[in-house]
């Protein structure tokens, strides 16, 4: 019945169930975890027959957001879920959510069609201590159900259900995995200007569930792309050290022992390697460090140049990084194991940060010029440079797992509060994540597991 | 609640004791003045951080994205090396700082480069390297607030402090 929809990039009910039941392997043990277990079971379709494959693509949705009807799921938690789901979808700029009349039965798709809607959701939330949410997604034009799933979890965990449903809608209608059920780790800054207190913190990608994770001076966190682990540079006792923080247990350990001063750690896509710039003399050279053993191998040797901000290509074979070996800071690409580096940035200004897209096609960068900071993307050969956003300080680009959105930190002026924002790689839909504290150095988590 | 009350009493007693000490010091130097004016007349105790700041100069400045030592910077570091030779028991930390016209990680590397440049100069002038530690604050601990070249120039520095 669903087979025609299960073409390239689409999620079957079975896959959705598998995806969601993976969540159930995890209990809420420590702070900063994605949340408690969520169970998913498929719901049978109300209407039989085969539905046509959705022909809407992300690129088309850019110019024409997909009108989708989302009614309240009923009750307090149902209203909250609808609200979070609506924000998730609207914030992408790829959907235009239309509110509809509540009800878990067969929606009036004909009237939705006449309203111009392309898709519709129906759902109901029941229960208090533990909540069960039934969710169905409908193709308005063909009048077919294209997804039906019931999710169960603790009531306190309702936000994850909203994000998971949002990700299912995103994938079903756009053919790409979503990123709503993810988190962003970052550093909070408080205290005085001269003696700042800098702490590791985490939040959901929409700014909810903020939690402080550590009590020591922290800089430059990097989320492990495959595990619930964050590497960061500890400045506790004025001694820079690379730490690995395990979110499940709350434990941390020191990684590596460097003859020099380590700077920010940067994870490989498989989570097995971290590249750390180590400052010594006038420069800083890149070291490839095994997460398992801490063994380090020097991969640049530039005799006094600064080499920082490495980021891996998605298959882990190459890195992009910043170096001032040519005089001023510019972007380079080389094999992740070292060797010759190829310069890819030639524009004016200092190119100081890199973040290689998980899609593989783009490298995000921060450029500092006389007019301020610019955050942009370029192709991996350096061509096609585009600026996404500019400001007094706009830096630390980090991609969401599907590579469609960048998070960054932004400050309107010296000493003013720094905020974390997001922008689509097309340069549209820039928005700031509501946070009540000054925040820098964001690093996007993988999809929650 | 009780604990808080007790510690408040303890704090009051401690403050009273400090005031007594100041009064005693004032009496010993022949002055009852507790306002601290006495300090200015005699100057900071030799070999202290305050002495370094007042009589030697605790910081050197750098150009935009630079770590080269200017002649002014070398003059200050020469005086620091002499001062360190005079007080061989003193250990210092050199902290490299940057203006906020660069990114977080690049500035950490640049601040370290500045701290190391100042350290290498002091070592060349005879200060034992074992007496010097370095750290980079990047752009995270600016000494001057605000924007503009005057402010940024002040924040591009290496600051020597007594440990």
Give the CATH number of the domain where residue B120 resides.
3.30.1330.60
Which residue of chain B is at minimal alpha-carbon distance from A412? B147
Q: Does B149 touch chain A (CB under 8 A)?
A: no
Find the mean pLDDT for residues B52-78: 97
What ipTM is given for this predicted complex? 0.88
Query: Which is more confident, A445 or A51?
Result: A445
Distances (CA, A) of A132 to A10, A81, A121: 25, 12, 16
Give the Cα separation of A172 and A68 in Å (integer): 13
Range of the domain at B60: 44-162
Does residue A287 carry a pLDDT above 80? Answer: yes
Nearest to A308 among B109, B134, B145 (CB): B109
Nearest to A281 among B100, B116, B140 (CB): B116
Q: How far is A395 from chain B (nearest CA, A)?
A: 7
What are the boundaries of each domain within chain A?
A: 3-174, 183-444
Q: How far apart are the first and last CA of chain A?
A: 29
- What is the residue whose two structure tokens read 């003045």? B33
Order of strands, edge to edge, in the sheet holding A95-98? A39-42, A144-154, A130-139, A119-126, A66-69, A95-98
Residue B91 has a pLDDT of 98
Nearest to B106 among A198, A309, A440 (CB): A309
Indicate if the alpha-carbon torsion angle A149, A66, A384, A223 is positive or negative.
Answer: negative
Residue A44 has a pLDDT of 72
B29/B12 same-domain check: yes
Q: How far is B144 from chain A (nearest CA, A)?
A: 9
Overall fold of domain A3-174? Rossmann fold (3.40.50)
Give the side-chain half-sphere CA count within 13 A for A257.
Answer: 1
B73/B21 same-domain check: no
- What is the residue whose two structure tokens read 């995103």? A170
Nearest to A306 among B106, B145, B147 (CB): B106
Indicate if the alpha-carbon torsion angle A194, A200, A205, A207 is positive or negative.
Answer: negative
B150/B73 same-domain check: yes
Helix (H) or strand (E) holding A352: strand A350-356
Number of folded domains that form chain B: 2
Does residue A335 carry a pLDDT above 70? Answer: yes
Q: Does A77 touch chain B (CB under 8 A)?
A: no
Strand partners, A199: A188
B120/B147 same-domain check: yes
Q: Does B100 touch chain A (CB under 8 A)?
A: yes
* Count of CB pairs separated by less than 8 Å, A with B: 97
Distances (CA, A) of A110 to A44, A54, A185: 21, 18, 44
B86/B124 same-domain check: yes
Q: Which of A121, A139, A42, A50 is nearest to A81 (CA)?
A: A121
Q: Read out DSSP for A369-380?
A: ETTEEEEEEEET
B145–A415: do the CB atoms touch at under 8 Å?
yes
Find the mean pLDDT for residues A257-264: 95
B36/B49 same-domain check: no
A264–B108: do the CB atoms touch at under 8 Å?
yes
B65–A261: do the CB atoms touch at under 8 Å?
no
Would you say A312 and A292 are in contact if contact means Cβ atoms under 8 Å apart?
Answer: no
Chain A residues 190-209 with CB within 8 Å of chain B: 193-196, 198
pLDDT digits (tens, 9 = 90+) for A213-222: 988 999 999 9
Would you say B81 and B69 are in contact if contact means Cβ atoms under 8 Å apart?
Answer: no
B126/B153 same-domain check: yes
Kindly give the pairing relationship between strand A241-246 and strand A144-154: unpaired
Q: How far is A217 from chain B (nearest CA, A)?
A: 11
Taking contacts as CB-CB distances below 8 angstroms, the residues of chain A near B151 are 414
B9/B70 same-domain check: no
Nearest to B145 among A282, A328, A414 (CB): A414
B113–A282: do the CB atoms touch at under 8 Å?
yes
Helix (H) or strand (E) holding A298: strand A296-298
pTM of the model: 0.86
Q: How far is B118 from chain A (nearest CA, A)?
A: 11
Sequence-distant (≥ 6) Cβ neighbours of residue B60 within 8 angstroms? B69, B70, B72, B73, B76, B77, B118, B157, B158
Q: How far is A291 from chain B (nearest CA, A)?
A: 21
B65/B88 same-domain check: yes
pLDDT digits (tens, 9 = 90+) for A266-283: 999 999 999 999 999 999
Overall fold of domain A183-444? Neuraminidase (2.120.10)
Helix (H) or strand (E) holding B2: helix B2-28
Q: Does A306 touch chain B (CB under 8 A)?
A: yes
Q: Does A146 touch chain B (CB under 8 A)?
A: no
Residue A18 has a pLDDT of 42
Order of strands, edge to edge, in the sheet holding A318-323? A307-312, A318-323, A330-335, A341-343
A61 pLDDT tier (thresholds 50, 70, 90) = low
B82/B59 same-domain check: yes
Helical axes A158-174 vs A13-23, angle rounded to 10°: 150
B16 pLDDT tier (thresholds 50, 70, 90) = very low
Q: Does B155 touch chain A (CB under 8 A)?
A: no
Q: How far is A275 from chain B (nearest CA, A)?
A: 13
B77/B7 same-domain check: no
Give the Cα separation of A396 and B107 in Å (integer): 13
B84/B17 same-domain check: no
Residue A45 has a pLDDT of 65
A414 pLDDT tier (thresholds 50, 70, 90) = confident
Would you say B106 and A310 are in contact if contact means Cβ atoms under 8 Å apart?
Answer: no
Nearest to A415 among B110, B143, B146 (CB): B146
Which 3 state secondary structure label does DSSP give A102?
A: coil
Q: Does A396 touch chain B (CB under 8 A)?
A: yes
B79 pLDDT tier (thresholds 50, 70, 90) = very high
Distances (CA, A) of A361 to A51, A313, A402, A411, B2: 33, 9, 12, 28, 64
Does residue A182 carry a pLDDT above 80? Answer: yes
A261–B104: do the CB atoms touch at under 8 Å?
no
Find the mean pLDDT for residues B71-94: 98
Task: State the Cα torsion A436-A438-A441-A442 to the nearest 10°.
Answer: 10
Question: Burial level of B133, CB count in 10 A (0-12/13-18/19+)?
Answer: middle
Give the Cα separation of A362 and A284 in Å (integer): 25
């Amino acid at each position: 019945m669903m087979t025609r929809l299960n073409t390239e990039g689409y999620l079957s009910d079975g896959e959705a169930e598998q995806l969601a039941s993976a969540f159930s392997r995890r209990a809420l043990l420590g702070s900063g975890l994605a949340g408690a277990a969520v169970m998913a079971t498929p719901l049978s379709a109300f209407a039989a027959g085969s539905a046509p494959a959705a022909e809407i693509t992300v690129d088309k949705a850019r110019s024409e957001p997909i009108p989708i009807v989302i009614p309240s799921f009923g009750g307090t938690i149902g209203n909250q879920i609808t609200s979070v789901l609506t924000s998730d979808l609207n914030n992408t700029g790829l959907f235009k959510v239309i509110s509809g009349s509540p009800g878990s039965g067969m929606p009036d798709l004909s009237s939705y069609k006449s309203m111009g809607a392309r898709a519709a959701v129906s759902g109901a939330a029941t229960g208090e201590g533990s909540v069960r949410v039934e969710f169905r997604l409908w193709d308005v034009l063909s009048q077919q159900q294209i997804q039906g799933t019931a999710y169960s979890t603790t009531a306190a965990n309702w936000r994850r259900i909203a994000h998971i449903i949002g990700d299912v809608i995103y994938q079903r209608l756009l053919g790409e995995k979503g990123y709503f059920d993810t988190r962003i780790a970052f550093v909070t800054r408080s205290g005085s200007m001269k003696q700042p207190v800098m702490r590791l913190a985490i939040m959901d990608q929409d700014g909810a569930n903020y939690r402080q994770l550590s009590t020591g001076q922290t800089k430059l966190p990097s989320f492990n792309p495959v595990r619930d682990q964050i590497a960061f540079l500890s400045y506790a006792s004025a001694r820079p050290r690379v730490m690995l923080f395990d979110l499940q247990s709350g434990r941390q350990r020191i990684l590596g022992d460097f003859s020099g001063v380590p700077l920010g750690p940067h994870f490989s896509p498989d989570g097995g390697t971290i590249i750390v710039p180590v400052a010594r003399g006038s420069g800083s050279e890149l070291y490839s460090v095994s997460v398992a053993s801490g063994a380090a191998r020097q991969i640049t040797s530039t005799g006094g140049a600064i080499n920082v901000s490495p980021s891996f290509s998605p298959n882990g074979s190459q890195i992009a990084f910043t170096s001032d070996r040519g005089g001023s800071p510019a972007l380079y690409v080389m094999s992740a194991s070292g060797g010759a580096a190829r310069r890819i940035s030639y524009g004016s200004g200092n190119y100081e940060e890199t973040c290689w897209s998980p899609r593989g096609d783009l490298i995000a960068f921060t450029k500092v010029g006389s007019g301020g900071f610019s955050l942009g993307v370029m192709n991996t050969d350096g061509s096609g440079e585009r600026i996404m956003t500019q400001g007094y300080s706009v830096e630390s680009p980090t991609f969401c797992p599907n590579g469609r959105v960048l998070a960054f930190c932004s400050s309107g002026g010296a000493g003013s509060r720094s905020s974390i924002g997001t922008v689509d790689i097309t340069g549209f839909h820039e928005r700031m994540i509501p946070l009540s504290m000054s925040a820098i150095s964001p690093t996007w988590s993988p999809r929650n597991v | 609640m009780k604990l808080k009350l007790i510690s408040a009493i303890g704090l009051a007693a401690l403050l009273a004791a400090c005031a007594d000490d100041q009064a005693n010091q004032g009496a010993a130097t022949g002055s009852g003045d507790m306002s601290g004016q006495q300090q200015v007349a005699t100057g900071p105790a030799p070999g202290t951080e305050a002495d370094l700041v007042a009589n030697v100069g605790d910081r050197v400045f750098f150009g935009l994205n630079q770590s080269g030592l200017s002649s002014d910077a070398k003059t200050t570091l020469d005086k620091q090396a002499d001062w360190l030779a005079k007080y061989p028991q003193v250990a210092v930390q050199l902290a490299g700082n940057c203006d906020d016209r660069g990114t977080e990680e690049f500035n950490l590397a640049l601040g370290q480069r500045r701290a190391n440049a100042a350290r290498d100069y002091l070592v060349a002038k005879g200060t034992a390297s074992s007496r010097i530690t370095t750290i980079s604050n990047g752009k995270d601990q600016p000494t001057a607030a605000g924007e503009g070249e005057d402010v940024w120039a002040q924040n591009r520095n290496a600051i020597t402090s007594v440990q």
